[in-house]
Structure 1
C-alpha cells in the first residue's frame, strides 16, 4: 500500500498537470478568439484608394469622390475611401515623382494618354494599365480680350499661333497699332516644365510653327522652332504667378498681367462670365488642336489587391455615370459619354464662342525623347520666373 505521503505527492503532481492542461486550453481558446477577431477586423478594414489626378480635372474628381463616398461604397463588405491627390504628369514620366513599386497611387488620371505612353517609353517601372480611355476631354485654345484681339486682326487678318508669334516679336502694342497705354504685349500659359497644361500649350505652339498636326522628335530638336518660340515665351511676364489656372489670374488682375492666353478650354469657360465683366473675351480654336482626354488607369501589379482593383473599377464606372458626366459638363469639360454640350451652363454662357464640334485635326505627339528635348530647351531658355 502507498504511504500517505506518497498519495499526497501524486495528488499534487496530478493537480499541477491539470492546471497546466487548463492553461494550454485557455491559451488556445484565446488565440482562436484573437485570430477570429483579427480576421473580422481585416475583413472590415477600409480600402483606401489613392487617386492621382491632373489639376485641370481635379475640381470635378474631388467633388465626384465626395459624392461617391456619400453612398458608403463597399467591396466584399469593406468600406471604400477615395483619397484624391493633385499630380502633374510631367514629374511622373520624367522619373521625378518618387513613385515606385512600393510607393504609388493605385489609380492615375493624367491629362492625356501620351503621359502613359511616355512612362512606358522611359522604362520607369511604373505599371499602369488603362481601364477607361477617357473620362472627359478639353482642347487647348486661345483667348484674348476683345480690344487686343481686334488689333491683331486689323494688323494680320487672322488670330492664330503664327500671328500671335508675330505680335510677340514686336513686343509693344503701339508697334502694331494698339493703344500705347497698354504697353508691352502680355501672353499667358502655365509654366511648361512644371504644369501639364503649360507643356500642352508649348506643343500646340510647335504645331502652329510646323503648320502640321504631326509632331516628331526631329522638330522638337530644331533650333529654328526654338528661335520662333522665344518671343512668345518672353512675352509671359511671370510664370510663377500664373499657377495651374491662368484664367483665374486674369480675373483677379484684369489686363495688367495677361491679355492673351493659351489654356484648356474648360478654364476659359469656367471663368468666362467673370472675365467678360472686365471686357468681352474672344475664343479662338487652333487649326490643329491638342486634346486632353484624361484616361483612367490602374496600377497593374501584384501590389494591387483584388479588392482594390474592384474598388477602382467601381469608381471609374461611377465617373462615367450620367450624373457624373453631367457634373463634368458643368465644369466646362466635354463629357466622354454625353455629346450634347449645349445642355451645360458653361458652354451656353460662351455659346457664340465655342466650337461644339471641334474643327481641324488633333495633334499627334512626338516620342518621349523629343518631348524631353523641348522641355530642356525651355528650361535653359527661361531661367527667370
Structure 2
C-alpha cells in the first residue's frame, strides 16, 4: 500500500471519529443529532377527574384507551361517593379539574352551597362544553325476590311495587303476614344506602317522599316539616337494618346471603344488571321492578371554574369530556349496564351480550316509568337534614 493511500485512509478515519464524538456528545447532552434543533420532551398536561364510583369500570376502561390515544394529557382518576366528593370540594379538600357526581341533585346542592360565598364566583359554567352535561344515565329500581314482589304487588292492587306497599309491610309488627306474605319470611328487610353519604340512598328517600305526597315535582321545604310525613319516613326506615355507604356492597350481600339479609333493595339499574344473573340458582329468582316514579342518575360532568384550573387544564379537560361523549365510548357503556347519554345510540342491538336484551326475562326493560323532577339545592339539603334528625338521631 502506497504512502498516499495510507494518508487518505488516515484522513477518512479522523473525520469519522470527529462525527462520532460530536453525535455522541449531542445525544448525551440532550441535543438533536447532526445539527438539528434541541429535542424537547412532549409537554404533558395533567388533569384530575373526580367521579362517582358507580361508573368506575366504564371510566377506567375509557381512561386507559384515552391515554394511549392522547399521551399529551394525563388523567388522574379519583373515585369518591357523590355526597362525599361534593363536601370535599366545598371544604377545599378536593380541587378537581372535572367533577362527575352520580346525579344532578347532588350537583345542584353543591352549586347552592358554593353560592353562599358570592366572592368565589360560580363553580360551573352555565353553557358551552364545560357546563354540566350527562355522561351516562341509569334509573333507580327495586330489586326484589320474585315471591316477595308478588305479595307486594297484590298489596298494591296488582300495580307496581310501591313505597306505600313496602311501608305498610315494614310498619306492621306482624311483618310479611300483614300483607299476605309467609310467616317464615319474618319482618320485611329493606336495603338502601345512607342518604347522607350515598347518592342512591338520597334518591330512594326523595322518591319515597314524592310518592307520599303524590307529587312528581314541586317538592318544597314546607313538605318536609310536616310531622305526619316525618313519622311515615321513620316507620319506613324501620325496615333498614343497616345503612351502608356503598350501593354495590349491599347488592353483593343480597346475592351472597339471599333473603336472609334483604328482601328488597333499592339500587341503580346498572348495578342490578351487573349482579342479577349471579343470584339465579342460589336463593330463588331475583328480579328488577321499576317503581311507578323513578329518578335518573344522569352522571353530569363539568369542568370546574375554580382558580386552581389553568387554561391548559381546561382545554385538556374538554378534550377528555369529548372523548367520553364520543359514540364509540358511549356504545361501550352498554356493556357496563349504563344507558348512553347520547340519544342516537340504540339500547337494543344485535349483540347477544347486550344486557337490555339478555336480561329482559329478569325484568330489565328499555322503557322506564315517568321520571321525577330533581328539586332545587335547598330542598335537597333540608331533606337530608330532616332524615338526620328523624331517622339517624333515633338509632
> For this structure pair, what is the TM-score category when the shorter chain's length is used for normalisation?
0.7 to 0.9
Distance 1:340 1:230, change over 3 A: same
Task: Mark the CA change 1:277 to 1:115 in structure 2 (over 3 Å): closer, same or farther.
Answer: same
Q: Does 1:340 align with 2:349?
A: no
Check whether the contact 1:128–1:299 (CA below 8 A) recurs between aligned residues: yes
**1:209 and 2:212 equivalent?**
yes
2:334 is matched with which residue? 329
> 2:54 is paired with a residue of what secondary structure?
coil
Distance (Å, rounded) in 1 between the aligned partners of 2:75 and 2:302: 15
Q: Report the equivalent of 2:168.
A: 166
Partner of 2:4: none
Give 1:350's match in structure 2, choosing from 349, 353, 359.
359
1:88 aligns with 2:91: no
Alignment check: 8 A CA contact 1:221 1:370 kept:
no
What does residue 319 of structure 1 align with? 324
- CA–CA separation in structure 2 for the residues paired with 1:186 and 1:41: 66
- Whether the aligned pair in 2 keeps the contact of 1:186 and 1:236 (CA below 8 Å) is yes
2:374 paired with 1:365: yes
Shift of 1:244: 4.5
Q: How does 1:26-175 map to 2 (within 5 A)?
A: 44-71=42-69, 73-74=70-71, 79-93=72-86, 95-97=87-89, 99-100=91-92, 103-122=94-113, 123=115, 125=120, 127-129=123-125, 130-131=130-131, 133-157=133-157, 158=159, 159-171=161-173, 172-175=175-178
Q: Helix, strand or coil: the match of 1:308?
A: helix
Number of equivalences: 340
Taking structure 1 as reference, are residues 200 and 63 closer, same or farther at Cα in structure 2, changes over 3 Å only?
same
Q: Over aligned residues, Cα RMSD in angstroms?
A: 2.6
Partner of 1:198 in structure 2? 201
Aligned to 1:192, the other structure's residue is in SS state coil
Q: Give the TM-score of the pair, scaled to structure 2.
A: 0.78
Q: Deviations over 1:85-119 (max 9, x none)?
A: 112232455x455653x950000011122333222
Residue 388 of structure 2 corresponds to residue 379 of structure 1: yes
What's the CA shift string for 1:177-222, capped at 9, x where partnerless? Answer: 3222221210111111111111111111111111111122222332
Answer whether contact 2:146 2:287 (CA < 8 A) is retained: yes
Tell me the secondary structure at the aligned position of residue 81 of structure 1: strand
CA distance in 1, matches of 2:141, 2:80: 22
Is contact 2:200-2:266 (8 Å) kept? no
Report if aligned partners of 2:335, 2:355 keep a CA contact under 8 Å in 1. yes
2:219 corresponds to 1:228: no
- Secondary structure at the residue paired with 1:198? helix
The Cα of 1:41 is off from its aligned counterpart by 10
Cα displacement string for residues 200-254 of structure 1 (whole angstroms, at most 9, x for unaligned residues): 1111111111111112222233222221122221101112386544322211221
**Structure with larger Rg:** 1
Greater shift in the superposed pair: 186-195 or 83-92: 83-92
Give the structure-1-normalised TM-score: 0.80
Question: What is the rounded CA distance, in whole Å, between the counterparts of 2:138 and 2:40 in structure 1?
Answer: 42
Query: Could you tell me whether the CA contact under 8 Å between 1:52 and 1:87 is conserved in 2?
Result: yes
- CA shift digits 1:127-157 (9 cap, x unpaired): 2334451111111111210111122223332
